[in-house]
Structure 1
Amino acid sequence: MLSGAAGAVQAGLAQPGLVQHGVGGATDLPIPFFYAVVGATWALTISFAVLALAWRTPRLQGPAPTEPEPPRRPWLAVVGMVLTLWFVGELFLGPDESANGGIGALYVLVWVGLVPLALLAGHVWKDLSPWRTVQWALGRLTGRPDGFVRLPDAWGVWPGVLAVFAFVWLELASPEAGDITTVRTWVALYVGWVVIGGIVAGPRWLDRADPFDLYSSLVAHLSPFVQGRRTHLHNPLRSLPHVPVRPGLVALIATLLGSTAFDSFSASQPWQSRSPSVLADTLVLLLFCVVAALAFQAAARATGGVSRSERGALPGLLAHSLVPIVVGYIFAHYLSYLLERGQGVVFALLRPTGWADDASIAYFLSSRPDLLATLKVGFVVLGHVLAVVAAHDKALEVLPRSHRLTGQLAMLLLMVDYTFTGIYLLLSV
């Protein structure tokens, strides 16, 4: 039997807020919505004005590193395999209830925790991934380390887009996101997706179809401490343009962006007060992702002086500028969720050892609403300012000289709209 503290943690893990972590809307945060929007909009507009006047030539563009990637670090592969066995073992062998620590490990430690991990350590998922270890071992046993077929270039990262949407659907639109059987089924399908695909198409499949691998790779390009897989302090806006431009890239980033916005929207009182509908949740989630993608496509293409084919390439060339917005939204929405609910997940995972029997969750941020509100708005604004800088510098490289400023106006309006919507969902719904 669990002690009182561990039992309280277990009860907390069973709450819907953990398994469908819509923590966006908070009407009692102390920053007035009007002042937050005005301040953020002015910060964004002034940033663009300063850039337009003082930043006339590209400063952040440059060739991607040409040296070969270092080999995977075996000790990290071992760590990744041990953690996977721990999390998956808890999920499948632990209690048949929502308090199972494996559910929280998936939603909190892996999905949300992947962002700060990639910012601090780069694309470390590539070393930690147990599926790469399995693919490596099976590839050598079969004599086909690169798989049996070549993944078509035209597929790009579209398999990963489908996998990312499958995860966010499970988390945000599924009526049984906290049901142990549902989560076990999703994880089993995911393992089959990456392992079988890795055997058939080799490690390239993991680069383009594993949702966690793709997510880690995107965020890692914004790490100030790791460039590629080499550790050194640098300006992350110089490595951000090296995000590979592949078919489906805009859809991938828009799915991450749109799903985060939907998470906050779905926590609003009007949406919560309606009759639950899986179809409505799914369609609105999809709508958020599609609108984010189409709006960016339109803003990126809204320039003159280029041919039709060149205009069609602009969204992919500018897509990396959305990564800071995604990261800013993740921190704004889920920082307190990761730091506070994450403690409960760790306690649940430690439950079999008895080490967490007397543990209690420290609600450091939730008990300081002024600090929490300031951080939320600050993360959104910082993400958007970095996005404006990244988009402006790339535009100076790819747009015709006569349209370098006018061609960015639509993108600026989109960034302002993203800012308004992001803060509105954070503070007013």
Structure 2
Amino acid sequence: MTVLAHGIGGASDLPIPLSYALVGAAWALTFSFAVLLFVWREPRLDPDAPGIALPSPLRTVVDAPVVRRILATAGVAATAFVLAIAFLGADDSARNPGPGVLYIYVWVGVMIASLLVGPVWKIVSPPRALHRAVCALSGRRVTESLFAYPPGLGRWPAVVGLFSFVWLELVYPEPGSVAAVTTWIVGYLVVTTAGLIVFGVAWGENGDPLEVYSSLLARLSPVGRRDTGEPVLRAPLDNLAGTPAVAGSVAVAATLLGSTAFDSFSTFPAWRALQADLADPFPVLLRTAGLLGFIVVVGGAFTLASRATGGVTASERARLPVLLAPSLTPIVAGYLVAHYLTFLLEKGQATAVLFADPFHRGWNLAGLADREVSYLLSTHPAALGTVKVAAVLLGHILGVAAAHDRCLRLLPPAHRRTGQLALMLTMVAFTFTGLYLLFES
């Protein structure tokens, strides 16, 4: 099994020509922005909206300490089991499920689950569980820390962690190597657990790359919480409006979007041919430069577009990219679904089959070895293509709506329309380029 073969298909998956899809998507986004300008004249998104309270029995189960402890224990046990397989099982990803667990179940499955029900990784996070265990043994409260987390750091430590992951996935010569994946997992556990011990829970919220990613997508979940902590059902964009403005937020979104775009671009024949003519280590250096280039372009374009408005002071203008960064979250979610849905549903099955005999002792746990992978999406390319276009387009439309509402709060009345034009054009460009890369790869 090649865990990085996303299997998302290409332009042939579309029930219509790619050019029609690109033009239609750009027009739909432009039209939605025009409607917002003339219909959505006052801020509407409210992160404090009361929402609909979950049924009392469900609230009790969701917030029960014993349920949280069970889930946390399961996260630690699963991590220990995967590490045991990594060290004692086969040394290649075709027989070892370890790489598939990281690339498929965690990087994709946990994130899509967070999009649906809330910040999953914060609950099952092994570093969080280990931190709580250390605090219990030392008699220290979980909320205490050895040092205060520096506010200026923001989410930049998470950016470094996210970049290390996408570098492993997209740049490292053998991303499916069991040794390489295991090294990343161990490094992640050590750094994150140490960060939690030193800086407390603030490190998990800002420095843990997986928790930051999961919590970011959870802002689009229909499940939210009132100020009292009570879980409720609420409009996803209302939850998104409550995303805190933290330094490094643009870089987080740019890393996620830029890496996805680079992943598609890296399959282009011309790019592969360019690397084929180079001797080691230049292909790795070239891929690193390409990955960084995509991330910088996405972050730079969004930053410039966010600041392209009048009627604000220099300090206010400098803060606009961070304040508007949440509007990129729906776009991140759209590309997550479009780029990885097939990967999760089909390669996820192949990874599950490898658990039949994780240590190569002739086992057939749960009869998994007798299971065959069902290629439900790949065998219906037209439906798959439609889902991918819809996911990307919906993500961009929601992103435009979120940005529009935030601009109504941030920009002076005389600049509320003109101040958004550069941002709208940038998002249209993101849509056009993203769809092209996704289907031409």
State the TM-score, normalizing by the size of structure 2. 0.89
| 2:53 match | none
| 1:133 match | 129
Which of 171, 174, 177 aligns to 2:175? It is 177
> 1:116-127 maps to which residues of 2 (within 5 A)?
116-127=112-123
Q: CA deviation at 1:314?
A: 0.7
Superposed CA offset, 1:238-292 (max 9, x none) = 0102112111111011101101111111122222233350000001101111111
Q: CA RMSD in A?
A: 1.9
Structure 1 residues 178 and 114: alpha-carbon distance in aligned structure 2, compared to 1, 3 A threshold: same
> Do structure 1's residue 400 and structure 2's residue 412 form an aligned pair?
yes
> Do structure 1's residue 147 and structure 2's residue 142 form an aligned pair?
no
Structure 1 residues 76 and 194: alpha-carbon distance in aligned structure 2, compared to 1, 3 A threshold: same
Counterpart residue type for residue 123 of structure 1? P
Superposed CA offset, 1:41-73 (max 9, x none) = 1110110111111110000034599xxx96862
> 1:216-365 maps to which residues of 2 (within 5 A)?
216-227=214-225, 230-276=230-276, 277-352=283-358, 353-354=363-364, 355-365=367-377
CA distance in 2, matches of 1:27, 1:373: 8
CA distance in 2, matches of 1:209, 1:358: 42
CA distance in 2, matches of 1:417, 1:245: 25
Contact 2:6 2:342 in 1 (8 A): no
Q: CA deviation at 1:378?
A: 0.6
Counterpart residue type for residue 303 of structure 2? Q
Q: SS state of the match for residue 325, structure 1?
A: helix
Superposed CA offset, 1:143-185 (max 9, x none) = 4442311111111111110000000000111112111221222
Counterpart residue type for residue 114 of structure 1? V
| Structure 1 unaligned regions, length at least 5 | 1-12
Q: CA deviation at 1:428?
A: 2.3
Which of 113, 123, 141 aligns to 2:109? It is 113
Counterpart residue type for residue 265 of structure 2? F
Q: SS state of the match for residue 264, structure 1?
A: helix
Q: CA deviation at 1:24?
A: 5.6
Contact 1:300 1:410 in 2 (8 A): yes
Q: CA deviation at 1:233?
A: 2.2
CA distance in 1, matches of 2:73, 2:137: 19
| 1:80 match | 75
Q: CA deviation at 1:23?
A: 4.7
Q: SS state of the match for residue 191, structure 1?
A: helix
Counterpart residue type for residue 80 of structure 2? L
Deviates more, 1:168-177 or 1:196-205: 196-205
Deviates more, 1:179-188 or 1:359-368: 179-188
Structure 1 residues 37 and 234: alpha-carbon distance in aligned structure 2, compared to 1, 3 A threshold: same
Superposed CA offset, 1:382-411 (max 9, x none) = 000000110001111110000000000001
Contact 2:154 2:206 in 1 (8 A): yes
Q: CA deviation at 1:93?
A: 2.2
| Structure 2 unaligned regions, length at least 5 | 51-61, 277-282
Contact 1:148 1:201 in 2 (8 A): yes
Counterpart residue type for residue 247 of structure 2? P
Contact 1:160 1:252 in 2 (8 A): yes
Counterpart residue type for residue 248 of structure 1? G
Contact 1:388 1:412 in 2 (8 A): yes
CA distance in 1, matches of 2:440, 2:264: 10
Q: SS state of the match for residue 366, structure 1?
A: coil
Counterpart residue type for residue 418 of structure 2? T
CA distance in 2, matches of 1:401, 1:70: 43
Superposed CA offset, 1:94-125 (max 9, x none) = 21112210110000110011221102220121
Which of 12, 19, 29 aligns to 2:13? It is 29
| 1:203 match | 201
State the TM-score, normalizing by the size of structure 1. 0.91
Q: SS state of the match for residue 61, structure 1?
A: coil
Percent identity among equivalent residues?
Answer: 47
Structure 1 residues 168 and 212: alpha-carbon distance in aligned structure 2, compared to 1, 3 A threshold: same
CA distance in 1, matches of 2:258, 2:47: 30
> Do structure 1's residue 158 and structure 2's residue 156 form an aligned pair?
yes
Q: SS state of the match for residue 176, structure 2?
A: coil
Counterpart residue type for residue 45 of structure 1? T
Q: SS state of the match for residue 91, structure 2?
A: coil
CA distance in 2, matches of 1:227, 1:119: 15
